[in-house]
Amino acid sequence: MNASPSLVTVNPTTASASVPAQLVAALLLGLVMLYAVGFSEASVAHNAAHDVRHATGRPCH
Amino acid sequence: MLFRRLFLCALFVGLLTGLFDSAVQRWQVVPLILAAEVFEEAATPPKAEHAHADGVAHSHGPQAWAPQDGLERTAYTVLANVLNAIGSALLLMPLLAFWNRQRAGQPLALHKGYGASVRYGLLWGAAGWVCLFALPALGQPPELPGMQAAALQARQVWWTLTVACGAGGLAMLCLVQAKWRVLGLGLLALPFVIGAPQHAGSPFAGMEADVALQMQQLVARFVVATAVASALQWLLLGTLSALAVARWLSPLLNPVAPATRLEGTAS
């Protein structure tokens, strides 16, 4: 009915349990993106990101 | 939901950082790559398989697509920079968020203003630069097109190992109890004990002596230019990431902390 009970509905236990999982999920997504830009073997990806690979010091050729 | 908001923050931070980084690279880094490619095309490499971005066959396949020089190539470089920055933000932000949460939200708390967030953001950004640029560059300095080097896969494995050991080693040195710190130093040193893959022979094989000399000078400038450009990128990325964590993520991170912002302006 009013705003204050909604604060109680947040369960600290479940909320805190899922926080690390969500952080790890984001971290893994970041790793996949960095792999795609920096290491992907596909020649299209290689040529599109060529200058960035050189500029960020990643092995390119 | 935390993941969704974190992802949106990473998109925003990555877009800003990637555009900034493209501008910085355009100034010192890209001209050196283009200059090296002139030499690369003029030289006749032993296997003639390294020319690229100019329509000549690349080692990955004779008909490989490559962006046209000029606007198209710049556009793809900007895109790759943005994706690279988003990926980096997706690494940095969860770590910052977790670290902030372990400290009960104190370091990046906004009620004291933005100063602490900026300070810790710069520190975490510097750590990112050390792990993802400086440490690998100590063993494998950034290369210019046309240079000969050891086998690609061996270098990629060493690069990945060095980044992982650097991140783990720095975390042990800075974030855990004193008795584990020695292990952190060992972890930092491990890739260099193993040693980066080395190329037998000159990196400028197949080039005329005077061209090789000019390439050598280009490489010296390139190492400095990439170090500066990536340092600026990481410092900005760290700062923006810390601000985003403080401003938009911490309300979702600390459910047991003061509940005033719990139901706040969730997007």
List pLDDT tens digits, range B146-180.
999 999 999 999 999 999 999 999 999 998 878 88
Residues of B in contact with A26 (CB under 8 A): 3, 6-7, 10, 90, 93-94
Q: Within an 8 Å CB–CB cutoff, is residue B17 touching chain A?
A: no
Nearest by CB to residue B136, choosing from A26, A36, A57, is A57
Q: Is residue B47 part of a domain?
A: yes
In a domain, A59, yes or no: yes
Nearest-angstrom CA–CA distance, A37 and B217 = 28
- Alpha-carbon gap: A1 to the closest alpha carbon of chain B (Å): 15
Structural domain boundaries enclosing B97: 2-53+64-149+199-261
In a domain? residue A60 = yes
Which residue is it, tokens 């309300």? B251
Q: Which position has the token pair 């046209």? A: B68
Please state the pTM of the whole predicted model.
Answer: 0.85
Name which of B158, B151, B137, B159 is nearest B222 in CA terms.
B137
- B181-237, pLDDT tens digit by residue? 889 999 999 999 999 998 888 888 888 888 999 999 999 999 999 999 999 999 999
B58 lies in a domain? no
Distance in Å, alpha carbon of B120 to nearest chain A alpha carbon: 19
A48 part of a folded domain: yes
The answer to ipTM > 0.90 is no
Residue A52 lies in a domain: yes
Q: What's the domain count of chain B?
A: 1
Could you give the number of structural domains in chain A?
1
Could A19 and B58 be called an inter-chain contact, meaning their C-beta atoms sit closer than 8 Å?
A: no
Answer yes or no: do A22 and B33 touch at CB < 8 A. no
pLDDT at site B63: 65
Q: Is residue B249 part of a domain?
A: yes
Structural domain of residue A36, as residue ranges? 28-61
Q: How many residues does chain B have?
A: 267
Do residue A26 and residue B7 have CB atoms under 8 angstroms apart?
A: yes
Asked whether residue B133 is domain-assigned, the answer is yes
Interface membership of B136 toward A (CB under 8 Å): yes
CB-CB neighbors (< 8 A) of A9 in chain B? none
A38 found inside a domain: yes
CA distance B76 to chain A (A): 5
Phi, psi of B58 (to 5 degrees): -110, 160
Q: How much is the mean pLDDT over chain B?
A: 88
Q: Is residue B172 part of a domain?
A: no
One-letter amino acid at A7 equals: L
Residue A4 lies in a domain: no
